[in-house]
């Protein structure tokens, strides 16, 4: 049986179709399900192997990107009275996986699921307004930290992906959390310059993120949050320079597809 992915939608999420397409191209079965269907228990996250929180503008970002939906997921109870947060803990306890992209990453951070260095489910970092105070829509180069701490990134050394966000600057609560992120290897994806070196410099780092962070995992490696959009680079033809002759012509797969293939293959194994 192939891996099953749940792609959540509703409340302003708007990248669900691309995210589902990514999982399907990677060989998984993918269902797009409105959050209200989860809350009324007509569907359950426990039917699935991977839970995806796609990008988008949940609640219009009017109260801070991801914060309103994070609070809903933390405190909402399903029809039978179960806290959704408890369902997520059960899901992770069963060894399953969560992917949050852009606004989905912000939701995971504000729920306290990432980086969760102390294991208490407290919010330890935030994603806030870009350093230049404006929405950034550009392609960025990232490097994965090694050894790989999450199967989502296995085998990936460098990856080029688009970013499109106004609030992607990672700010860490204090030095204790910063040290824990570094010592546990949770800063798993960083913006880099043309030489592949992690950087704080604009435009390579589009938002001024501390630690040049483009993605975080938790200590288990089951959760990955990332600001760049891998679901937006599933084919070489998604890249603005695909016709320049610099692409490997042996495959039409875009670099972002590797993130989805990795987790699908891992679950199938």
Angle, helices 67-75/103-110, rounded to nearest 10 degrees:
50
Give the pLDDT band (50/70/90) at residue 63.
low
Percent of the chain with pLDDT over 70: 98
Q: What is the enclosing helix (H) or strand (E) of 6? A: strand 4-9
CA 70 – CA 48 distance, rounded (Å): 21
Count Cα atoms within 13 angstroms, Cβ side, for 200. Answer: 7
Report which of residues 178 and 2 the model is more confident about.
178
Residue 126: predicted pLDDT = 95
Task: Select which of 167, 231, 239, 255 is catalytic.
Answer: 231
**Residue 249: other Cβ atoms inside 10 A:** 7
CA 192 – CA 12 distance, rounded (Å): 30
Residue 243: predicted pLDDT = 84
Residue 123: predicted pLDDT = 96
192 is annotated as an active-site residue: no
CA 52 – CA 73 distance, rounded (Å): 14
Q: Residues 209-256: pLDDT tens digits? A: 999 999 999 999 999 999 999 999 999 999 998 888 777 767 899 999
Q: Structural domain boundaries of the chain? A: 4-268
Residue 23: predicted pLDDT = 98
| 180, two tokens | 């824990």
Q: Residues 75-124: pLDDT tens digits? A: 999 999 999 999 999 999 999 999 999 999 999 999 999 999 999 999 99
| 248, two tokens | 């490997």
CA 44 – CA 64 distance, rounded (Å): 28
Full DSSP string of 14-26: --HHHHHHHHHHT
| 149, two tokens | 């701490």
CA 5 – CA 45 distance, rounded (Å): 9
Give mean pLDDT, residues 179-183: 97
231 is annotated as an active-site residue: yes
Give the pLDDT band (50/70/90) at residue 147.
very high
Show contacts of 240-248: CB within 8 Å, 24+ apart. Answer: 240/139
| 114, two tokens | 């990432």
Give mean pLDDT, residues 58-82: 85
Q: Distances from the Cα of 263 to the Cαs of 27, 36, 151, 192, in angstroms?
A: 10, 26, 6, 24
Task: Select which of 18, 142, 192, 229 is catalytic.
Answer: 229
Give mean pLDDT, residues 39-56: 96
The mean of the pLDDT values for the chain is 94
Q: Residues 18-35: pLDDT tens digits? A: 999 999 999 999 999 999
Q: Does domain 4-268 have CATH number 2.40.70.10?
A: no
Give CA torsion, residues 117, 121, 122, 124, to 10 deg: 30
CA 48 – CA 97 distance, rounded (Å): 9
Residue 250: predicted pLDDT = 79
CA 109 – CA 56 distance, rounded (Å): 15
17 is annotated as an active-site residue: no
Instruction: Tell me the whole-structure pTM to 2 decimals.
Output: 0.96
Please tell me the total number of residues recorded for the chain in this structure: 269
Q: Distances from the Cα of 217 to the Cαs of 93, 153, 186, 236, 264, in angstroms?
A: 16, 10, 5, 27, 17
Compute φ and ψ for 249, nearest 5 degrees. -85, 0
Report which of residues 68 and 224 the model is more confident about.
224
CA 262 – CA 50 distance, rounded (Å): 12
Task: Select which of 102, 140, 142, 188 is catalytic.
Answer: 102
Report which of residues 63 and 93 the model is more confident about.
93
Residue 236: predicted pLDDT = 92
């Amino acid at each position: 049986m192939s891996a099953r992915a749940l792609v959540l939608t509703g409340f302003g999420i708007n990248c669900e179709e691309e995210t589902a397409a990514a999982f399907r191209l990677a060989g998984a079965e993918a269902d797009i399900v409105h959050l209200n269907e989860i809350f009324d228990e007509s569907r359950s996250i426990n039917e699935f192997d991977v839970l995806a929180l796609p990008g988008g503008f949940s609640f219009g970002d009017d109260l801070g990107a991801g914060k309103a939906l994070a609070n809903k997921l933390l405190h909402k109870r399903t029809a039978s009275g179960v806290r959704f947060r408890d369902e997520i803990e059960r899901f992770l306890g069963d060894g399953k996986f969560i992917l949050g992209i852009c606004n989905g990453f912000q939701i995971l951070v504000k729920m306290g699921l990432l980086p969760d260095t102390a294991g208490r489910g407290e919010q330890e970092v935030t994603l806030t307004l870009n350093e230049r105070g404006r929405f950034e829509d550009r392609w960025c180069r990232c490097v994965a930290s090694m050894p790989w701490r999450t199967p989502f990134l296995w085998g990936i050394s460098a990856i080029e992906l688009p970013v499109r966000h106004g609030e992607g600057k990672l700010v860490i609560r204090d030095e204790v959390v910063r040290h824990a992120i570094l010592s546990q290897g949770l800063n798993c994806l960083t913006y880099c310059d043309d030489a592949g070196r992690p950087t704080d410099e604009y435009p390579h780092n589009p938002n001024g993120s501390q630690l040049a962070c483009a993605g975080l995992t938790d200590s288990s490696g089951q959760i990955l949050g990332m600001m760049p959009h891998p679901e937006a680079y599933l084919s070489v033809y998604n890249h603005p320079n695909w016709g320049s002759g610099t692409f490997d012509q042996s495959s039409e797969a875009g670099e972002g597809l590797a993130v989805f293939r990795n987790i699908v293959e891992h679950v199938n194994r």
